């Protein structure tokens, strides 16, 4: 796969795009700040556009610095021991995610609370994350994995490979990037299960059981799709802030006999688009995170679909209390 021409064409395009964006944005950064400040001064004293420009600049700096660091790792560690190669890339991932999360918290004046972080201090485990924003990816790494030096193996959508750092470093580490169409479902489930191979006490597998970000329209469609599963449909009928879990990947992972850590989070709902950043939806928000761990011995051997839906009902209830 390293010689896949599509990979190199994508990287050539994405690196060119990000280099141009970096030059255009960072080179004229004072001008963009001035223009944003003028608009905010007339419209919104919270300075949402100034903050959005600052965060976009931070993101580009992290991307360009990350690509440069990844190239340096390839030069100095590319022919070394595999364990050194993996740890070097994992360390870069930790710095990248921590910089993005820490910068976002400071720029938007957010407050972060974490309950039960110690439950993810030791692997191996499956991490089932509520999905409300692209920021969820950074959230789990910065608040759960990085403090405990746990290397998460991610199940992510293939479109994220257009992010150069995720493309380069993300494919050096054990992750699965899947198509959203599900055209080859069997192969994709196999790729997800393969992430559980050789898991140790410093490893975990992260998946978003909902498969996509929450919206009311998606919830309505997902409920309709459960018409042939009345028992599950009855549970999902009570959901207000989560989507019914997709069963293929999560149920296959549950077969591996691992503890499950549920990451319930609230506060990022306003960051679904760049327009939301411009409107200041994240300014002053509290990002609340709760982790709860279910030992493998307490997960039923049968009717796991119902068990997962019931666990997701608990996530929905928690989000409702914190919305």
Could you write out the DSSP letters of every residue in 203-234?
EEEEE-TT-S---HHHHHHHHHHTTT-HHHHH
pLDDT-based confidence at residue 1 (cuts at 50, 70, 90) = very low
Orientation angle between helical segments 5-27 and 48-77, nearest 10 degrees? 130
- Cβ–Cβ < 8 Å for 28, 57: no
pLDDT, residue 278, reads 85
- Cβ–Cβ < 8 Å for 128, 261: yes
Count CB atoms within 10 A of the CB of residue 18: 19
Q: What is the mean pLDDT of residues 24-40?
A: 96
The pTM of this model reads 0.93
Give the whole-angstrom CA distance, residue 309 versus residue 303: 10
Q: For residue 151, give the nearest of 110, 97, 189 by alpha carbon.
A: 97
Structure tokens belonging to residue 227: 């018409």
**High-pLDDT (> 70) share of the chain, %:** 98
**Chain segment 50-107, per-residue pLDDT in tens:** 999 999 999 999 999 999 999 999 999 988 899 999 999 999 999 999 999 999 999 9
Q: What is the CATH number of the domain that holds 211?
A: 3.40.1130
Give the whole-angstrom CA distance, residue 291 versus residue 207: 14
Q: Say whether pLDDT at 2 is over 90.
A: no
Averaged pLDDT score across all residues of the chain: 94
Q: Domains in the chain: how many in total? A: 1
Structure tokens belonging to residue 94: 């930790």
Based on DSSP, count helices (H) and strands (E) in the chain, helices before strands.
13, 7
Q: Is 295 helix (H, G, I), strand (E, B) or coil?
A: coil
| Neighbouring residues of 74: CB distance < 8 A, sequence distance ≥ 6 | none
Q: What is the mean pLDDT of residues 234-241?
A: 96
- Segments forming the whole domain that contains residue 94: 5-322
- Cβ–Cβ < 8 Å for 241, 323: yes
| Neighbouring residues of 219: CB distance < 8 A, sequence distance ≥ 6 | 239, 243
Q: Is 302 helix (H, G, I), strand (E, B) or coil?
A: coil
């Amino acid at each position: 796969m390293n010689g896949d021409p599509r990979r190199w064409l994508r990287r050539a395009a994405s690196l060119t795009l990000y280099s141009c964006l970096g030059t255009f944005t960072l080179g004229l950064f004072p001008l963009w700040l001035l223009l944003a400040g003028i608009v905010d001064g007339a419209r919104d004293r919270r300075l949402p556009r100034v903050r959005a420009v600052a965060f976009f600049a931070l993101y580009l700096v992290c991307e360009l610095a990350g690509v440069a660091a990844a190239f340096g790792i390839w030069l100095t560690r590319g022919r070394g021991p595999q364990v050194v190669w993996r740890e070097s890339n994992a360390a870069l991932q930790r710095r990248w995610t921590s910089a993005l999360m820490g910068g976002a918290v400071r720029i938007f004046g957010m407050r972060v609370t974490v309950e039960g972080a110690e439950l993810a201090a030791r692997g191996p485990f499956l991490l089932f994350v509520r999905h409300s924003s692209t920021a969820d990816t950074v959230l789990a790494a910065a608040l759960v994995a990085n403090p405990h030096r746990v290397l998460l193996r991610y199940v992510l959508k293939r479109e994220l490979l257009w992010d150069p750092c995720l493309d380069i470093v993300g494919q050096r580490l054990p992750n699965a990037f899947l198509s959203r169409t599900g055209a080859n479902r069997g192969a994709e489930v196999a790729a997800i299960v393969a992430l559980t191979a050789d898991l140790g006490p410093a490893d975990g597998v992260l998946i978003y059981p909902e498969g996509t970000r929450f919206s009311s329209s998606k919830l309505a469609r997902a409920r309709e799709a459960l018409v042939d599963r009345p028992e599950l449909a009855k549970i999902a009928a009570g959901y207000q802030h989560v989507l019914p879990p997709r069963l293929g990947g999560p149920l296959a992972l549950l077969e591996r006999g691992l503890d499950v850590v549920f990451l319930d989070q609230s506060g990022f709902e306003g960051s679904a688009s760049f327009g939301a950043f411009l409107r200041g939806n994240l300014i002053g928000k509290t990002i609340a995170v709760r982790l709860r761990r279910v030992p493998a011995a307490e997960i039923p051997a049968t009717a796991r679909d119902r068990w997962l839906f019931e666990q997701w009902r608990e996530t929905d209830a928690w989000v409702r209390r914190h919305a």
